[in-house]
Amino acid sequence: MKTPEKLLSRRLGYKGKNITVFSDIISLKGRKLKRDLITHPGSAVILPILDLKNKTIILIRQYRYAAKMYMIEAPAGTRDKGESTLACAKREIMEETGYKAKRFKKIVNFYPTPGVMNENMDVYIATGLTPAVKKPDWDEDIEVIEITLDKALNLIEKGKIRDAKTITSLLMLERLLNSKGKKPHL
């Protein structure tokens, strides 16, 4: 399908470590308008499964400056330059949870804020966990939470989990595990 918007000009507004902000002038239906765009290298989200039978997973709790609060989230991280999302997932699970995984399975890809940002997230289920050395970044204060999927879904309903990538990931995992007549290939 042909794109309805044509880029006419671009002005750099800000370049940071993980994002770049542009102010674009585009043409749409013969008219000019401004679009602000944030570019991002993409992210990996991981749902580590400790016990498939009991649906025990690992989430983390960390402070988020933009939200001004501690949030319960799935472990995740931004891709380094040239890094695949799978390599990012393998790095982030160790950094944030202190576990390694034998198997990773991508279950969904999505854009968390496509109205203003091109960030693209791949969600992986990680199984075959073994303890490893937890190596959070120096600016991360992360608490590891072992929780059942049902309790995590309940926290969404109660408004205790408000992070979009985590909600998306948990709902996809629930769908995979509860598919009628199908055994999940995790």
List 140, 143, 157, 174, catalytic entry: 140
pTM: 0.91
What is the pLDDT at residue 49? 97
Structure tokens at 97: 């949870």
Residue 158 exposed, middle or buried by CB count within 10 Å (0-12, 13-18, 19+):
exposed
Query: Residue 156: helix, strand or coil by DSSP?
Result: helix
Residue 181 has pLDDT above 60, yes or no: no
140 belongs to the catalytic site: yes
Are the C-beta atoms of 98 and 134 separated by less than 8 Å?
yes
Give 147's strand partners: 57
Residue 28 has pLDDT above 80, yes or no: yes
Structure tokens at 167: 């909600």
Query: Residue 167: helix, strand or coil by DSSP?
Result: helix
Residue 184 has pLDDT above 90, yes or no: no
What is the pLDDT at residue 135? 77
